[in-house]
């Protein structure tokens, strides 16, 4: 539904977007995820019509709209700071954008009331915006965008001003709302958990470029490069030696983990016979007492961090350059393991992923 083709954006000689191409399907919850400065807001603003790309094309529903002003596009944007008028009441705030459509009073009232229903604010239309909680203000901002009945709703870090608990609650609501209204949502976020929890698909961006586009599960389980893996939660990285390569698969010697067979990511090339492999902390498991396991290593606890339901452990293993990170639920006493304790850990060789080299990025 949205086609972004070879879009670039320069600020002077600085490249904020570098040849970005992306397809976003109708009715999807799509997230642009990346660290500060990667260009995600610039891309969103280009889709909205607030920024004009230096090159490339953007089409919405087949209509070229790279140069079309924002108010002529079937999009609407919800801003990080809500941008609602404090002196107007909720109903007036929501009706604001409708004025230029010159609807009948009945139609306008109906649209406002529908939008307030959608965000669960019915009955609050006479409340002044400055008498609302942060979560309610966020809902007003959403209603104000939805009332325009856009085909695409663009959300620029809409939840970042809320505290953790409210943010998590609003994430669930956003997801439910998107499924209920059925329109395409494009969310900009630097929070990997938010992107994983909400999206049908995610584009991960670094340095003005798209590093990977996939479903949350694919991106988390099969990150293409080391940077993507690292940005989407922790990962243990190991340098490994390439033993053999067949179509779609490689076999590597990963230090103390022995020989491992892996599937090849797109764009994979081994540098001088060496490759990087990774395994997520939760794919390593403590072995208690004399529990057997086909694949195991001995190590010692170097560090421990208690997080309530889980404990993060740093495990030193002889012969490994870096200690391993692992995460355990506290049901069996991982939180009580003393620093220096000798442990055994089990791993599943199928849990390793092979990572392609990250692209070198130049922004001038």
Q: How many residues bind ligand ATP (CB under 6 A)?
A: 12
Which residue among 7, 39, 116, 337 contacts ligand ATP (CB under 6 A)?
A: 39
Q: Return the residues of window 64-103 that contact ligand ATP according to CB under 6 A.
A: none
Alpha carbon distance 106, 63 (integer Å): 32
Task: Report phi then psi at 193, rounded to 5.
Answer: -70, -40
- The nearer residue to ligand ATP, 41 or 325, going by C-beta atoms, is 41
* Polymer length of the chain: 364
Contact yes or no for 174/181 (Cβ under 8 A): no
Q: Candidates 19-27, 39-47, 120-128, 139-147 — which segment interacts with ligand ATP by CB under 6 A?
A: 39-47
Q: Which helix (H) or strand (E) holds 297?
A: strand 296-306
Name the phi and psi angles at 178, rounded to 5: -60, -40
Based on the shown chain and the rule CB under 6 A, indicate whether residue 190 belongs to the binding site for ligand ATP.
yes
Q: Under DSSP, is residue 281 helix (H, G, I), strand (E, B) or coil?
A: helix
56 part of the interface to ligand ATP, by CB under 6 A: no
At residue 230, what are phi and psi to the nearest 5 degrees? -70, -40
Which of 135, 134, 220, 118 is closest to 179 using CA atoms? 118
Closest to ligand ATP by CB, 211 or 279: 211
Figure out which of the listed residues 2, 18, 40, 203 binds ligand ATP, where binding follows CB under 6 A.
40
Min separation Cβ 232 and ligand ATP, Å:
16
Considering the complex, what minimum distance in angstroms separates the CB of residue 93 from ligand ATP? 25
37 in contact with ligand ATP (CB under 6 A): yes
Those residues whose C-beta lies under 8 Å from the C-beta of residue 106, and which sit 6 or more positions away, are none
Residue 207 or 278 having the CB closest to ligand ATP: 207
Site string for ligand ATP, 7-36 (x = CB under 6 A): ----x--x-x-----------------x-x
Between residues 40 and 139, which has the closer beta carbon with respect to ligand ATP?
Answer: 40
Closest residue by Cα to residue 233 from 274, 200, 204: 204
Nearer to ligand ATP, 8 or 118 (CB): 8
Distance, in Å, from the CA atom of 173 to the CA atom of 73, rounded to the nearest integer, reads: 26
Give the footprint of ligand ATP on this chain (CB under 6 A).
Answer: 11, 14, 16, 34, 36-42, 190
């Amino acid at each position: 539904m949205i086609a972004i083709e070879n879009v670039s954006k320069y600020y002077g000689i600085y490249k904020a977007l570098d040849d970005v191409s992306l397809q976003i399907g109708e009715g999807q919850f799509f997230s642009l995820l990346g660290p500060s400065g990667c260009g995600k807001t610039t891309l969103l603003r280009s889709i909205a019509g607030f920024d004009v790309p230096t090159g490339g094309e953007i089409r919405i529903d087949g209509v070229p709209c790279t140069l079309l002003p924002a108010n002529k596009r079937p999009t609407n944007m919800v801003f990080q700071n809500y941008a609602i008028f404090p002196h107007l009441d909720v109903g007036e705030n929501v009706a604001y954008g409708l004025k230029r459509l010159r609807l009948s009073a009945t139609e306008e009232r109906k649209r406002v009331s529908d939008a307030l229903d959608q965000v669960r604010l019915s009955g609050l239309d006479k409340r002044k915006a400055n008498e609302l909680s942060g979560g309610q203000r966020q809902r007003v901002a959403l209603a104000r965008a939805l009332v325009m009945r856009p085909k695409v709703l663009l959300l620029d870090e809409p939840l970042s001003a809320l505290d953790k608990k409210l943010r998590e609650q609003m994430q669930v609501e956003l997801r439910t709302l998107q499924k209920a209204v059925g329109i395409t949502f494009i969310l900009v976020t630097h929070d990997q958990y938010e992107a994983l929890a909400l999206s049908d698909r995610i584009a991960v961006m670094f340095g003005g470029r798209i590093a990977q586009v996939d479903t949350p599960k694919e991106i988390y389980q099969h990150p293409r490069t080391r940077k993507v893996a690292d940005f989407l939660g922790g990962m243990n990285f190991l340098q490994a030696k390439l033993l053999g390569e067949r179509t779609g698969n490689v076999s590597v010697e990963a230090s103390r983990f022995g020989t491992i067979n892996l599937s090849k990511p797109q764009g994979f090339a081994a540098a001088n016979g060496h490759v990087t492999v990774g395994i997520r902390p939760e794919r390593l498991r403590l072995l208690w007492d004399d529990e057997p396991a086909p694949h195991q290593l001995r190590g010692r606890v170097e560090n421990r961090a208690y997080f309530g339901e889980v404990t993060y452990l740093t495990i030193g293993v002889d012969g490994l350059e870096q200690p391993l990170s692992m995460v355990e639920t506290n049901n069996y006493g991982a939180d009580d393991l003393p620093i220096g304790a000798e442990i055994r850990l089990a791993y599943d060789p199928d849990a390793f992923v092979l990572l392609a080299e990250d692209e070198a990025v130049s922004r001038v």
